[in-house]
């Protein structure tokens, strides 16, 4: 289908895609989906149903200034007049614009995912976007009662447990008597990615509002959304560990190894281990591959009474309570220490050197293998009453949570380890 730019200034670009529908969708972009060529927010899903669309795409992080939108209206009016029904759709900054300009653009329905009320630092506590506020461009930008069309339906989707978005929702709600609200718990600001579905977007545009129906459709989409489970798992960490365990036991996840970043992967596995919930099937669901050891060796203890281990899941040296090691010993292997030596760990009867580079990336090397130039072995030094672990001229210490780091150039109690 042919697309054409119908308006452009320094702040926004509007692209018209003519379909065969009686409904015109005004699709507002967000911070991520800003103007790029002739691309339109949610274009793939909208084209699937042959919708006529005007993609209103931000060129800057300026929250659709009123001056630009007023100029756009002059060009858009002849197109708006051709359609029986106009629906606004967008998320975050785009969700804000869909609500803010619903009266101006004669919308009959608005679907707004995690919208903002304003980014003016004098009007909101949320500071995620206030750096983008421009007093000249965004003066009086908050959503107001006069922006709301009395005959328009408004559907807002947000996470009621995410305080930043909740603040905006609670400021928007009193302005819209006919507001319909759909909750998407434990997803934070990721509603757009979680609910990316052509059929669900079609329902949002066309289906008469029925809360039971929409929640049913949302559940179907969530069930197949990796973004949903990543977001939920991240939000459950440390506060709702029972729910996290239930997800891993009952949901058929098959994530790839790069799905979680290293920091989140380490946090997840640490919580699983400490709550005695981990098994190999759980780790495979999370895309975490492990090489399992056969036996434990002698042990070093940190100043908090925890045992020094190599975690084969996170590929890091950490420390754990002995009871956790007793239950999860195939994943967290106490370091084998007798005398001064290079730090090493035994996995499947094969001994590996524990090495690290200046970016604190840890890797295992077989004892006979050559090391890459950036990697250096971690050294265990036996002193009179204690042991130390060093990387170059820095000594390792462990904190109360069991995270270990090489930061100190001198040896105090946190840098001392004893044999038990």
Contact, 49 vs 21, CB < 8 A?
Answer: yes
User: In whole angstroms, what is the distance from residue 54 CA to residue 76 CA?
Assistant: 9
Q: Average pLDDT over the chain, rounded to whole? A: 89
User: In whole angstroms, what is the distance from residue 66 CA to residue 75 CA?
Assistant: 15
Give 32's contacts (C-beta < 8 A, 6+ positions apart): none
Question: Could you tell me the two tokens for 249?
Answer: 């036991």
Domain limits, CATH 3.40.50.1820, in the chain: 3-228
pLDDT score at 420: 80
Beta carbons within 10 angstroms of residue 21's beta carbon? 18
**Where do the DSSP E strands lie in 92-236?**
109-113, 153-158, 179-183
Domain 300-419 CATH assignment equals 3.40.1130: no
pLDDT score at 241: 64
User: In whole angstroms, what is the distance from residue 83 CA to residue 24 CA?
Assistant: 6
pLDDT score at 294: 40
Q: How confident is the model at residue 237 (pLDDT cuts 50, 70, 90)?
A: low
Integer Rg of the chain from CA:
28
| % pLDDT > 70, the chain | 87
Query: Running DSSP on this structure, what letter comes out for residue 413?
Result: G
**Where do the DSSP E strands lie in 267-313?**
300-301, 307-311
φ and ψ at residue 17, rounded to 5 degrees: -120, 110
* pLDDT of 141 strictly over 90: yes
User: In whole angstroms, what is the distance from residue 100 CA to residue 169 CA?
Assistant: 13
Predicted confidence (pLDDT) per residue in 37-80, tens digit: 899 999 999 999 999 999 999 999 999 999 999 999 999 999 99
CATH architecture under which domain 3-228 falls: 3-Layer(aba) Sandwich (3.40)
Closest among 133, 112, 107 to 121, alpha carbons compared: 133
Contact, 413 vs 393, CB < 8 A?
Answer: no
Domain limits, CATH 2.80.10, in the chain: 300-419
Question: Could you tell me the two tokens for 47?
Answer: 């084209």
Q: Which residue has the higher pLDDT, 248 or 153?
A: 153
Question: Could you tell me the two tokens for 246?
Answer: 């239930």
pLDDT score at 188: 87
User: In whole angstroms, what is the distance from residue 158 CA to residue 165 CA?
Assistant: 7
């Amino acid at each position: 289908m042919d697309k054409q730019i119908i308006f452009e200034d320094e702040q926004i670009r509007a692209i018209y895609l003519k379909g065969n529908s009686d409904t015109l969708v005004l699709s507002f972009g967000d911070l991520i989906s800003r103007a790029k060529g002739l691309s339109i927010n949610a274009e793939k899903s909208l084209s699937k149903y042959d919708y006529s669309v005007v993609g209103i795409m931000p060129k800057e992080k300026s929250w659709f200034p009123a001056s630009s939108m007023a100029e756009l209206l002059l060009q858009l009016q002849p197109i708006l007049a051709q359609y029986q029904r106009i629906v606004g759709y967008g998320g975050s900054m785009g969700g804000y614009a869909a609500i803010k300009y619903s009266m101006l653009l004669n919308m009959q329905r608005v679907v707004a995912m995690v919208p903002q009320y304003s980014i003016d630092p004098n009007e909101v506590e949320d500071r995620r976007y206030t750096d983008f506020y421009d007093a000249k461009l965004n003066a009086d930008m908050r959503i107001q009662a006069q922006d709301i069309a009395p005959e328009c339906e408004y559907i807002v989707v947000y996470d009621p447990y995410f305080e930043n978005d909740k603040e905006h929702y609670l400021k928007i709600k009193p302005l819209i008597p006919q507001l319909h609200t759909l909750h998407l718990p434990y997803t934070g600001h990721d509603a757009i990615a979680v609910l990316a579905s052509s059929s669900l977007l079609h329902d949002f545009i066309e289906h008469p509002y029925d809360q039971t129906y929409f929640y049913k459709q949302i559940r179907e989409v969530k069930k197949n959304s990796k973004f949903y489970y990543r977001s939920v798992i991240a939000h459950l960490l440390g506060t709702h560990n029972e729910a996290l365990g239930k997800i891993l036991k009952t949901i058929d996840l098959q994530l790839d190894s790069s799905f979680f970043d290293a920091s989140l992967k380490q946090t997840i596995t640490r919580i699983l281990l400490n709550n005695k919930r981990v098994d190999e099937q759980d780790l495979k669901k999370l895309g975490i591959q492990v090489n399992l050891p056969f036996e434990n060796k002698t042990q070093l203890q940190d100043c908090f009474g925890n045992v020094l281990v190599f975690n084969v899941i996170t590929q890091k040296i950490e420390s754990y309570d002995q009871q956790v090691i007793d239950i999860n010993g195939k994943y967290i292997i106490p370091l084998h220490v007798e005398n001064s030596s290079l730090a090493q760990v035994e996995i499947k009867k094969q001994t590996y050197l524990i090495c690290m580079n200046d970016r604190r990336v840890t890797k295992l090397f077989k004892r006979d293998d050559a090391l890459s130039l950036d990697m250096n072995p971690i050294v265990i030094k036996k002193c009179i009453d204690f042991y130390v672990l060093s990387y170059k001229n820095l000594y390792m210490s462990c904190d109360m949570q069991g995270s270990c780091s090489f930061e100190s150039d001198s040896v105090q109690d946190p840098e001392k380890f004893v044999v038990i």
